[in-house]
C-alpha cells in the first residue's frame, strides 16, 4: 500500500451520533498512520488538527493546546501529506463556492481526498464543544451547545477531507474542514471565512483504511438501527 | 496492519448498481490481498469464489472454471483466512435462521466479518448471471435475468461476508454468501440450502481496506446520486 495514497480513518462519524464519545486509541497510535488530519478527543473534547505530525486540540473555550501522546481519541482521519497545488484563491470566495470550485476542477466526486489551504484570512469563524461527561448525550444535543469563535487577519491552515456521498453514514458526505491559525490563537471546526489569498491544495486517495474500535464493548454492542445517522450527521456537521 | 484482521474490498457493490461492470484489476493483483473471498468478473461475468488462494468462477451456464491470473475484476472481497469454529450445525437450519444464529452468538453486528461453512448439503440452490455486453444494463435488470442451479447431496463450502448496516451503500448490509462444491460441480451466489452437518466458522476484522478503481474514468465521472443504491442492492442481492 502506498503510504500517501491511503486515508486512514479511526472510528466512524456514525459512532459519534448516538454519543459513543469515549476515546479508544491514543493520538500517538493514530499518528502512526499519518502526519496530517482532523479528529475529536475523548468525550468529544474539542476539535483536533494534525499538521506536520504535530497534534493540536482546540478545546471548548477556544484555547489551542498541544496534545500529549496519550491523549485518547474516538474518531480521527489522518494521512501522510503529499499535496499538489490546485489553484490560487481569489478574495471573494466563500466556503460554499470554494467547495464547488474544487469539485469542478477535479474528477474526485466519488473518492476521498484531502484539502489543505494555507493563506491569509481576513475573517475566520470556527466552533468547538466542551468536553462531555458520561452518560454522554447524543451528537445533535452537543451541536446545540457549541461555542463559536472568530478573528480577523489571521494566517492559518484549513485542513480536512472530502468524502464521497456513497459513504454517507460511515463518513459525512462532502467536505469536513478544520482551521488552525499559524500563531495558534484560534482554531476549530470551520464555520465561515473571508480570505485574502492562498493556495488550495489537494491530495486524492485510492484507498480508505477504515479502523474499527473493536475493543470497545459500547461500540460492539450498540444498536445503530434507530440512530438515523445520516440526518443527525448533516444536522451536526 | 495485521494481515488476518483486515478485509480488503476492491470496488464497491454500489459501483455495480448503475452498471459499472468493467473489470479494472486482475485477479492476480486481488490475490495479493487475500487467499479467500468472493467477487464477480468483468462484465458481471459470473460469481467468483476464492478458497485457499485458488480463484474459481461460476459462469452464467453454471460451469465452474479455474481463473487465469489476468482475469479482470470490477468487485471483490478477499482476506487471509484465519477462521475460528463457532458452532456445529443442526440439520433443520435454514439460511435465514443460520444468519440469525451466528449474529446471536457473537457481538459483531457493527463490524465486518467473514463466514465459512464447509459441510454436507442435502440440497443447495445457487444463481449466476451471463456475462453482459456494453452498453451495460443496470444491476437490477441483470438480477431479473439470472440463471438458477440446484443439486442434492453435495459437500461444499459456503463462503462470504457480513457487512454492518452502517456500511449500506458501499457494501450490502448483512450477509453476502457464495457456494462452491468440493467436486466443482455446482456453485454461485447462495439462494437456499438444506444441510446435514458442518461447522460454522467466522473471522472478524477490525479493519476494512477499501480500494477504489481510481484508474477508471467511468467510475470517477459517474453521478451516483440518482442510482438509489441501497434499494437496488437489496433488490439485486
Per-residue pLDDT 10s for chain B (237 aa) are: 568 899 999 998 888 989 999 999 999 999 999 999 999 999 999 999 999 999 999 999 999 999 999 999 999 999 999 999 999 988 788 999 999 999 999 989 999 999 999 999 999 999 999 999 999 999 989 877 799 999 999 999 999 999 998 877 667 778 999 999 999 999 999 999 999 889 999 999 999 999 999 999 999 999 988 887 777 777 776
Instruction: Note whether A222 contacts B: Cβ–Cβ < 8 A.
Output: yes
Nearest CA-CA distance, residue B206 and chain A, Å:
5
Determine which of B11, B13, B30, B110 to mutate to test the interface with A (most A C-beta atoms within 10 Å). B110
Per-residue pLDDT tens for A191-206? 999 998 899 999 999 9
Specify the CATH architecture of the domain B3-236.
2-Layer Sandwich (3.30)
pLDDT value at residue A237: 67
Nearest CA-CA distance, residue A220 and chain B, Å:
6
Instruction: Note whether B134 contacts A: Cβ–Cβ < 8 A.
Output: no
Nearest CA-CA distance, residue B183 and chain A, Å:
36
Spans of chain A, pLDDT less than 70: 1, 169-170, 237
Between B164, B211, B219, which is nearest A110 by CB? B219
Per-residue pLDDT tens for B39-94? 999 999 999 999 999 999 999 999 999 999 999 999 999 999 999 999 998 878 89
pLDDT value at residue B143: 77
Instruction: Note whether B12 contacts A: Cβ–Cβ < 8 A.
Output: yes
- Residues of chain B in contact with residue A220, where contact means CB-CB under 8 angstroms, are 107-111
pLDDT value at residue B113: 97
Instruction: Note whether B104 contacts A: Cβ–Cβ < 8 A.
Output: no
Burial of B134 (0-12, 13-18, 19+ CB in 10 A): exposed
- Residues of chain B in contact with residue A232, where contact means CB-CB under 8 angstroms, are none
Contacts made by residues A81-85, CB under 8 angstroms, sequence distance 24+: A81/A4, A81/A34, A81/A35, A81/A36, A81/A52, A81/A114, A81/A116, A81/A203, A82/A4, A82/A203, A83/A114, A83/A116, A83/A201, A83/A202, A83/A203, A84/A201, A84/A202, A84/A203, A85/A199, A85/A200, A85/A201
Backbone angles phi and psi of B122, in degrees to 5: -65, -45
pLDDT value at residue B209: 95
Q: What DSSP designation does B27 have? A: H
- Residues of chain A in contact with residue B212, where contact means CB-CB under 8 angstroms, are 110-112, 205-208
Name, in order, each residue with C-beta under 8 angstroms of B63's C-beta and a sequence gap of 6 or more: none
Nearest CA-CA distance, residue A125 and chain B, Å:
31
| Interchain CB distance below 8 Å, B14 and A166 | yes
Residue of A nearest to B5 (CA): A211
The single residue listed with the C-alpha cell 448525550 is A137
- Helix (H), strand (E) at residue B9: strand B6-10
B51-77 per-residue burial string, b: 16 or more CB within 10 A, e: under 16: beeebbbbbbebebeebeeebbbbbbb
**d(Cα A215, Cα B11) in Å, to the nearest integer?**
28
Q: Where are the domains of chain A?
A: 3-236
Amino acid at each position: 500500500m502506498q503510504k500517501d495514497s491511503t486515508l486512514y480513518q479511526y472510528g466512524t462519524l456514525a459512532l459519534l451520533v448516538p454519543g459513543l464519545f469515549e476515546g479508544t486509541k491514543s493520538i500517538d497510535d493514530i499518528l502512526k498512520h499519518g502526519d496530517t488530519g482532523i479528529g475529536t478527543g475523548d468525550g468529544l473534547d474539542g476539535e483536533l488538527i494534525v499538521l506536520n505530525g504535530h497534534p493540536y486540540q482546540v478545546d471548548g473555550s477556544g484555547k489551542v493546546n498541544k496534545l500529549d501522546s496519550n491523549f485518547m481519541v474516538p474518531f480521527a482521519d489522518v494521512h501522510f501529506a503529499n499535496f499538489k497545488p490546485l489553484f490560487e484563491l481569489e478574495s471573494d470566495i466563500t466556503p460554499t463556492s470554494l467547495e464547488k470550485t474544487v469539485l469542478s476542477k477535479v474528477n474526485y466526486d466519488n473518492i476521498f481526498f484531502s484539502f489543505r489551504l494555507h493563506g491569509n484570512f481576513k475573517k475566520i469563524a470556527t466552533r468547538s464543544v466542551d468536553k462531555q461527561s458520561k452518560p454522554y448525550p447524543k451528537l445533535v444535543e452537543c451541536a446545540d451547545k457549541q461555542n463559536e469563535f472568530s478573528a480577523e487577519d489571521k494566517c492559518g491552515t484549513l485542513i480536512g477531507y472530502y468524502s464521497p456521498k456513497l459513504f454517507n453514514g460511515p463518513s459525512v458526505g462532502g467536505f469536513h474542514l478544520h482551521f488552525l491559525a499559524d500563531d495558534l490563537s484560534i482554531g476549530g471546526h470551520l464555520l465561515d471565512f473571508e480570505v485574502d489569498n492562498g493556495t488550495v491544495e489537494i491530495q486524492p486517495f485510492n484507498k480508505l483504511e477504515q479502523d474499527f474500535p473493536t475493543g470497545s464493548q459500547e461500540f460492539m454492542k450498540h444498536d445503530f438501527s434507530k440512530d438515523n445517522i445520516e440526518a443527525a450527521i448533516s444536522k451536526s456537521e
